[in-house]
């Protein structure tokens, strides 16, 4: 009891009569550009999060190196 092909064609004809082909073309173009910009934003967001993760790892490594250096300096002071 789904929608048949004839019902879809009649619906399409009514929509074309109401809105016109030019208006539908503009809506289709706007929808396509919106989807394209959304995909590019998602792609940029993924790359940005990867870069953030790499930068965070570098910061953590630098912090661990500085804490190791601080610990070794403290041990040397204890020895003296």
The domain limits of the chain are: 5-79
Q: Residue 65 has what pLDDT?
A: 61
| pLDDT tens, residue by residue, 19-32 | 998 998 999 999 99
| pLDDT tens, residue by residue, 39-57 | 999 888 777 666 666 667 6
The pTM (predicted TM-score) of the whole model is 0.44
- Reply yes or no on whether the pLDDT at 11 is more than 90: yes
In degrees and rounded to multiples of 5, residue 22 shows phi and psi of -65, -45
The mean predicted confidence, pLDDT, of the chain is 78
Q: Which residues of 55-72 are buried (b: 16+ CB within 10 A; e: fewer)?
A: eeeeeeeeeeeeeeeeee
């Amino acid at each position: 009891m789904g929608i048949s092909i004839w019902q879809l064609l009649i619906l399409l004809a009514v929509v074309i009569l109401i809105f016109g082909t030019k208006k539908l073309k503009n809506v289709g173009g706007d929808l396509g550009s919106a989807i394209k910009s959304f995909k590019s934003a998602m792609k940029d967001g993924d790359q940005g999060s990867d870069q953030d993760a790499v930068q965070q790892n570098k910061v953590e490594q630098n912090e661990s190196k500085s804490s190791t250096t601080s610990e070794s300096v403290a041990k040397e002071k204890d020895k003296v």
